[in-house]
Amino acid sequence: MSSQQHKFKRPDVSIRDKKLDTLNVQLKKIDTEINLIRKQIDQHQVNDGTQQERKKLQDKSREIIKTQADLKNRRSNIHDSIKQLDAQIKRKMNQIEEKLGKKAKISSTAEAKQRINEIEDSIASGDLSLVQEKLLVKEMQSLNKLIKDLVNIDPIRKSVDDHKAKINQLKEELNELNPKEVSNQFEQNQEKLNDIHSKTQGVYDKRQNLFNKRTALYKKRDELYTQIRQIRADFDNEFKSFRAKLDKERLKREEEHKLSKLLEQKDVDMGKLQEKLTHAKIAAFTYEIGAIENSLLVLDPTYVKPKKNILADLNEPVLETKPARKVVADDLVLVTPKKDDFVNVAPSKSKKHKKKNQQKNTENEQPASTFNKLDGKFTLEPTLIATLAELDVTVPINNDDVKITIEQLKKKHEELLSKQEDQTKQNIESVEKEIEKLNLDYSNKEQQVKKELEEKRLKEQEEAEKDKEN
């Protein structure tokens, strides 16, 4: 990879960061100015009473506007209804004209019947000539037919009259929905708002000026952010181009690298498991056993701490001694230690932890008066109380309880020692199984890589042969 990097110049991240640092300094300065303007805006405020009054007036204006809009909609709906009714009237009148004719002199059944009576009287007088009589008979026949048409037209006429009556009713509603009164209310309310606005205009002008400055700073800040994004995007594009060139070169050698990379990864993973195995080989319950032994050293003057090898001594848990304070039996309170103080695992291998534990062991090698009677009252080291509580044994509140606690500690000590070898063995076996599985997995992966490389090689050979044939 290093040889490829020599062929292509890698984008310099320090140049990008230098540009970004310059812009970030400007951003910090702008943010400071914005915060200062915000404080100035907070200082220029209209008093609460004026604001409340203005709010009430504004709310009233909104209500009036809503009322005006409602009136407008209602009036608009009425006008639409009137237009629809007018259109229906015109359509029905056209129907009547189509049936009667535009030049019809008789428009009602009463007029037609009256004319028929007049004709009958004329014929009955006997003063008419034969021609005149025939004409009148023909007219009478037409009138009889007209009467039938008029009867059919009457519902249409009634409908027209109903529509006209409805239009008149709607026009009366329009007169009642006069928005002038509402407009006057709006104007009066607006005058009050204008008065308040004129009184507070100075404050609003100052605030608006500050708002404008803040907006300008926001804009400038956005421009800086845009520049930052552009710088990052340009660098990313350069880096992508750089990576693309490297990938193009790497593709030529990918099949040779795959197996070596797999083996390298195997070494890394195996190293982690070997490290894990080293920790697993450390005796289990080392910390708990050490805590019990240190507690027995304090509680039982006759107890002799077993000798251990150097590694065990370095990892041995100890009791941290602190200046004792008097604790009376009646007021004795258990101190709950942190969970990290006692864990059923091998202790950390860090040098810092070992050094700390060695120091604690040295301190605890010096038996102090952890419990005694002061002024006739039984006292106990708080650190010891926490340790005993964590070990789930009886915390003594008098000398009689000490024997019980010692027996419980020895019993727990024996239990942990009896399980230590098995637990340690289980820990080791668990890691060994992981190692076995890892070896198997990487063996399969190696076979798969070899298979893929062979298939790729054969395919390339076939393609090359075909190209030669063509």
Three-state SS sequence of 124-168:
HHCCCCHHHHHHHHHHHHHHHHHHHHHHHHHHHHHHHHHHHHHHH
> Is the pLDDT confidence value at 119 over 80?
no
pLDDT at residue number 220: 94
Identify residue 132 by its one-letter amino acid code: Q
pLDDT at residue number 315: 45
Residue 57: other Cβ atoms inside 10 A: 18
> Is the pLDDT confidence value at 111 over 90?
no
pLDDT at residue number 415: 93
**Rounded to whole angstroms, what are the CA distances from 203 to 137, 207, 348, 424?**
98, 6, 67, 79
Rounded to an integer, the average pLDDT of 301-325 is 55
> Is the pLDDT confidence value at 90 over 50?
yes
The angle, 0 to 180 degrees and rounded to 10, between the axes of the packed helices 180-199 and 201-251 is: 90
pLDDT at residue number 357: 43
Query: Percent of the chain, pLDDT > 70?
Result: 75
Planar angle of CA 233, 238, 243, nearest 5 degrees: 120
pLDDT at residue number 322: 36
Considering 102-106, 171-175, 246-250, the range whose residues carry the highest mean pLDDT is 171-175
Residues sharing a CB contact under 8 Å with residue 273, sequence separation 6 or more, in sequence order: 431, 434, 435, 438
Q: How far is Cα 183 from Cα 355, in angstroms, rounded to an integer?
A: 89
Residues sharing a CB contact under 8 Å with residue 60, sequence separation 6 or more, in sequence order: 189
Residue 288 host element (H or E) = helix 286-299
pLDDT at residue number 344: 37
Which three-class secondary structure string do you get for 23-75?
HHHHHHHHHHHHHHHHHHHHHCCCCHHHHHHHHHHHHHHHHHHHHHHHHHHHH
* Confidence band, pLDDT 50/70/90 cuts, at residue 59: confident
Question: What's the first-to-final CA gap in the chain, in angstroms?
Answer: 36
Helical segments of 319-398, H only: 351-364, 382-390
Q: Which residues of 161-182 are buried (b: 16+ CB within 10 A; e: fewer)?
A: eebeeebeebeeeeeeeeeeeb
pLDDT at residue number 316: 43
Q: How far is Cα 377 from Cα 175, in angstroms, rounded to an integer?
A: 102
Question: Which residue's entry shows tokens 């002008």?
Answer: 205
pLDDT at residue number 275: 92
* Confidence band, pLDDT 50/70/90 cuts, at residue 248: low
pLDDT at residue number 346: 37
Phi, psi of 323 (to 5 degrees): -55, 125
Residues sharing a CB contact under 8 Å with residue 457, sequence separation 6 or more, in sequence order: 255
pLDDT at residue number 118: 77
pLDDT digits (tens, 9 = 90+) for 226-243: 999 999 999 999 988 887
Q: Residues for the chain: how many in total?
A: 470
pLDDT at residue number 247: 60
Which class for 380: exposed (0-12), middle (13-18), buried (19 or more C-beta within 10 A)? Answer: buried
pLDDT at residue number 145: 74
Give the closest residue to 431 by CA, choosing from 275, 287, 268. 275
pLDDT at residue number 170: 85
Tokens matching residue 389 = 């509580």
* Confidence band, pLDDT 50/70/90 cuts, at residue 262: confident
* Confidence band, pLDDT 50/70/90 cuts, at residue 413: very high
* Confidence band, pLDDT 50/70/90 cuts, at residue 6: low
Q: How far is Cα 420 from Cα 310, in angstroms, rounded to an integer?
A: 18
pLDDT digits (tens, 9 = 90+) for 335-375: 333 333 333 333 333 333 443 444 344 334 434 344 554 44
Q: What is the CA radius of gyration of the chain?
A: 54
* DSSP-based three-state secondary structure for 189: helix
Give the closest residue to 252 by CA, choosing from 426, 101, 460. 460
Phi, psi of 379 (to 5 degrees): -120, 155
* Confidence band, pLDDT 50/70/90 cuts, at residue 109: low
Give the closest residue to 16 by CA, choosing from 230, 221, 222, 220. 230
Identify residue 34 by its one-letter amino acid code: I
More confident residue, 341 or 244: 244
Report the largest interatomic distance among the alpha carbons of the chain, rounded to a whole angstrom. Answer: 168
> Is the pLDDT confidence value at 282 over 70?
yes
DSSP state of 380: E
Give the closest residue to 312 by CA, choosing from 330, 328, 290, 293. 290
Whether residue 186 contacts residue 72, with contact meaning beta carbons closer than 8 Å, is answered with no
Tokens matching residue 112 = 């037609």
Residue 378: other Cβ atoms inside 10 A: 20
- H and E: helices and strands count for the chain: 13, 2
pLDDT at residue number 439: 92
